[in-house]
Each structure stands twice: as structure tokens, then as C-alpha cells.
Structure 1
């Protein structure tokens, strides 16, 4: 008897969907960064366009039209190095950039006009923001590099009120997120462990990871 259970998917293969369901007119750009160049929530897809600092936004599902139209969101003055959707809010998007800032965007539902500005701007940091990531199981926790910071944001429309692991913050203090660790090398990836606000950072020139608690 085999020790391993044979997968029922061993003879399956991927097949392209019908051409009618393809998303055309995608003008994606090539970005030299360690972050994500395309991200999807359950409602929207965001990707780096061929213009630095501009993201393409397209609905994940068609809206009864023959083709899905791509709209463009001007996010930063330099290239977008990483982006991430909140796992608790399909329309809350965080972007990091080589302009050393990070922004939170409240995107509208498909078919509505994109916002003219971000809901919140953080920075500028000492160097460009390389990677960022929302916590997968705790609502509102966001981590980014290179500063090794984490902060708590609201998933609702009022993103001006922040809290930290030390308690509530005033509006003035909320603009200065809690810094819990400052690594000596630039991070390439960021990942969360379990449900605690702990982040793992992997430097560019080392396989050793740093845990932030």
C-alpha cells in the first residue's frame, strides 16, 4: 500500500477560457522592484501600467458588457514598487512607491469614477518603499519595508483614525505609526505568522529572516 494518497488531479491540465472573457487592451509596464506588479481582490484587479506611478484598474467580473474597460489611477510621482488589497475590504488598496511614500486608496465599485486623491498618505521614508502587506487574518494591520513598521488602519471610509499596539492614538499621533524594528538591510519579501502582529522580513543579500513582534 502506498504511503501517499494519489491526487485525483494528477491528469488535469489548465485550459484557456473563451476569448470573449479575456481582458484586452492591457498596457502593463515592467517595474524593477521586489514587490507585486499585479494584485486582485474579489472585485477588482490592479496592475502596474506602462506609465510610472500609474495603476490600471479593471473589474474582476464583467458587468454585462462585451468587454471590460481598464481605467487608470495616478498614484505616485515615481514607479509603484508594491501594492496590496485588504483581505477584509475589496476596495481598500495600499500602494508603495519609489517616491518614498505609501498611500491608502478607497476605490469605488466597478463602473464608478476613480478617486482624485488617496485617503491617506504616509511618508516620506528615508528610502523607497520596497514591499508592503496587509495582515491576512487581522483586520486593518499593515506592514511595510524598509522601515520595519506596522500600524493599524480602519477598513471603513474614515481612515484618519489610527490605533497602535500601545493603545489609541490622537489624530496627530496617528500620522506617526509605531516603529517596532529597523532592519539593517533592505527587505525583499514580507509575510505574516498566524494571527499575531508579527512580520517576517527577508533581506536581499541573506536567507536569514527577521521576526518582528
Structure 2
């Protein structure tokens, strides 16, 4: 089969981040997140709930007294950077809250206890939180209270809520941010239309009891593929599987029979597999917790829908794996993807490349990628406007200006501390004006008397 990606290879960088104290708490999250400025992961701390946020430029050994995010009173189960603001991090915790953190440009200089905002409403611990990829300040969360909720960060309040029949094991937005896919403990996948608080469809996916994960397919050019998604899970014999599905072939809510487009059986591994799809190259990367390898596949619009290419192997098992946003790759080295492998005491950058001799920019390998600016405002999204695909930018060096005009900037999220300060200032101003008013009234009365 002819493909420009059939010789893609993974390579570990010589520099890595060392002497890390990774939390031993097991979660269903990917375990690590990264963006153009920082990467973050749970740090070992007595009460749990601490996160390390390390600038990506700080290779080498990490100081023992590393400043941490320590604002949660219980363990952090999931966390994610804002796709439109590299300095903003969202965390979901067992203490029933989600918190939004503002990270200084140079990284943390001291422990960060004061969040920018706290979102309260879930009745039990919160297992997942994720930003909408297209609309600004829109966040989804899911909890052991069996609800999935959508929050408007600008208002710092809940916008929509959906009751879930069972515990959610993974939660993912689709390419345009109009639907959420949720894999559940009852072995079903449910597609949620959050703005109608209803299920678009549901189906049984994997028969095994262990956690299933999900990832949407499609992209800027592959618009017809946006109905498809990939799930990873287990057979009833505990073999690991990857399934490719089309939501148009799934029944409406209630009917749970659906035929996958393809179902691959991988191996007898024990850890959950985390799928990550790159819309630009139409490649799928799959990293399992406890595995020492990352498999990668190429999606195909026709049968068999997914071709195995190869895998990147190491000798050290990973505790988690994350990919950088596509705009962070080094196009001069024909790097199509860059990831971070979380080990027990270190984080190892991994580069995925296409071997080519030419040093020129390879337009066929690097179509426009998400620009990191919102395509619509949260009020538009919450108001039911048609969802727009993420705004794109050219990958060619020197041409990074966004191709699609971004909407007008939305008001930034203001912390409660700042709001109280603004309120106090406003009240003081009101008192001063009232005083001035009284003086003017007195003067006027005196003038009338003369």
C-alpha cells in the first residue's frame, strides 16, 4: 500500500526531565498534559491533589523544592490546558470542585493555592474535565454523581447538565465541539448533544469489564470522516481491541446494536489504551499505560479504515503519554508529531518523523493546523449557534497568521479575589460620590437662602 507515512519512525530525545516524584494515585486520565509552554502531571504529596507545572525548556534534573499547584484538598483526577491560553490550566478533583489556574509566563515561583476560579456543583468526585476545541470558555466535566455538565467559564456557572446511566470512563469532544463521546462502565458508548441535554445515539462497544477510551476522527479536509470515531477496550477474554465506528450506523438512544467498521485485536496487555488522533496527517497514535511502546496507524476512508504502520518501542514502561499541540512540531526536521512519555521518575520527549532528504517545507506533510484561537464565543455556543471548526494557521515557518479570522476577544475569566477587589473599589467610589452629592445639596440650599 502506497502511503507517505509508512516509514514514520519515533525517536527519543537525548534531553529529558529527571528526578520527578510522580503521584502513585491511579486515575483514568492520560496522566500528563503538554502545550507550547508547559507540561503538567500529578506530583507525589501527602494529602494528594498537588500538580507540578514545568516549563518545557527546563530539561535536566528537577529541584526537590519544586513549586506546585496545591489548592485542592483531595486528589486531582483529571487536568487539561486551555487550548486558547497556554497559561491557563483546569483541574478536576475528588474534593468535588474544578479549579482554573493562571500559570505565570516564567512558570511557578512559589506554591499556587489561589485559583482564578472554582466551579462547584457536582455532588461527588469529578473524574474528567475537558475544554471545547472550538468555542472559548466552554468546559465539559463528568463525575461519580452520574452527571455530565457543561460550564461557561466567562459566567463561572453551569450551562447544561445531562444525567448519565452509569459511570463515565472517558470523555471527548468532537472536531467542531458540537458533540461529546462518553464511554461508560456499562460497556456502552454514548454520544451526547450537550445543548439539548440528550443522547444522540448509544451502542455497546467492547465486551470486557476494563475501561474503554474514545477518540474522534475527521479533520479540516476530511469533513465526511467527522462522523467516525475510534474506541479502545477489551474483549471478554481480556484481549485489547481498537474499534472504528460511524455514528451514522448507530441506533438512536435506547437501541444498543451497532456494527463497527473494523475491530482490531491487538494483544493481551493489561493497561487501558489511550488513542490520540492527528487530523492533519489522519494518523492515530495509541499508547497504553504500563506499555513500553506507542503504536501508530493511518486512517483510510474506505475498508479496512485503519492501517497499522509501526510502533515506537522502549524498554521503560510509561505511566502516561501526552502529545503537544500540532503547531509545536519542528517542520524543518519533518516532525509530524511530538509527545511526552511519563515514566516513574522522568519525562521523555518523543519525536515522530517522516524520513525525507529535502530540507524544504513539506506542504503535503503539514496541512494547516489549529491555531490556538477560538472559532466562536461561549455565548454563541451556549445560545445554540451552529458549531464552527477550529480556526487554522499555516504550518509553514513565517506564515503562522491564522487563515480564518478569529471572533472578537471575549472578556477574560476574572478571579473571585479580583471581583471582590473591584466591588470594594466600586462601593468606595459610590460612597465618595454620595458624600460629594450631600455637600453640593448643602451648598445649593445655602445659595437659595441668600
CA 1:79 to 1:112, structure 2 compared with 1: closer, same or farther past 3 Å? Answer: closer
Give the gaps of 5 or more residues in structure 1.
154-160, 163-173
Question: In the alignment, what sits opposite 2:182?
Answer: 201
CA 1:145 to 1:22, structure 2 compared with 1: closer, same or farther past 3 Å? Answer: same
Question: In the alignment, what sits opposite 2:148?
Answer: 148
Number of residues of Structure 1 aligned to a counterpart in Structure 2: 186
CA 1:25 to 1:32, structure 2 compared with 1: closer, same or farther past 3 Å? Answer: same
Asked whether 1:34 is paired with 2:28, we answer yes
Paired residues of 1:58 and 1:68 also in contact (CA < 8 A): no
- The offset of 1:210, in angstroms, is 3.4
- Residue-by-residue CA offset, 1:175-194 (whole Å, 9 max, x unaligned): 4x123311121111111123
Paired residues of 1:55 and 1:75 also in contact (CA < 8 A): no
Q: How far apart, in 2, do the equivalents of 1:85 and 1:72 lie?
A: 16
CA 1:182 to 1:116, structure 2 compared with 1: closer, same or farther past 3 Å? Answer: same
- Which of 178-187 and 195-204 deviates more? 195-204
Equivalent residues in 2 for 1:74-89, closer than 5 Å? 74-89=70-85
Question: In the alignment, what sits opposite 2:96?
Answer: 100
- Which of 89-98 and 132-141 deviates more? 132-141
Paired residues of 1:81 and 1:98 also in contact (CA < 8 A): yes
- The offset of 1:136, in angstroms, is 1.5
- The offset of 1:67, in angstroms, is 5.4
Question: In the alignment, what sits opposite 1:136?
Answer: 133
CA 1:17 to 1:99, structure 2 compared with 1: closer, same or farther past 3 Å? Answer: same
CA 1:209 to 1:48, structure 2 compared with 1: closer, same or farther past 3 Å? Answer: same
Give the gaps of 5 or more residues in structure 2.
195-450
CA 1:15 to 1:126, structure 2 compared with 1: closer, same or farther past 3 Å? Answer: same
Paired residues of 1:46 and 1:57 also in contact (CA < 8 A): yes
CA 1:75 to 1:5, structure 2 compared with 1: closer, same or farther past 3 Å? Answer: farther
CA 1:121 to 1:24, structure 2 compared with 1: closer, same or farther past 3 Å? Answer: same
- The offset of 1:124, in angstroms, is 5.1
Question: In the alignment, what sits opposite 2:165?
Answer: 184
Rg: which structure is higher?
A: 2
The alignment's TM-score, normalised by the length of structure 1, stands at 0.78
| Secondary structure of 2:162's aligned partner | coil
Paired residues of 2:133 and 2:177 also in contact (CA < 8 A): no
Q: How far apart, in 2, do the equivalents of 1:78 and 1:206 lie?
A: 28
The alignment's TM-score, normalised by the length of structure 2, stands at 0.39
- Backbone CA RMSD of aligned residues: 2.2
Q: How far apart, in 2, do the equivalents of 1:132 and 1:108 lie?
A: 22
Higher strand proportion (structure 1 or 2): 2
| Secondary structure of 1:42's aligned partner | coil
Equivalent residues in 2 for 1:2-17, closer than 5 Å? 4-7=1-4, 9-10=6-7, 13-17=9-13
CA 1:116 to 1:99, structure 2 compared with 1: closer, same or farther past 3 Å? Answer: closer
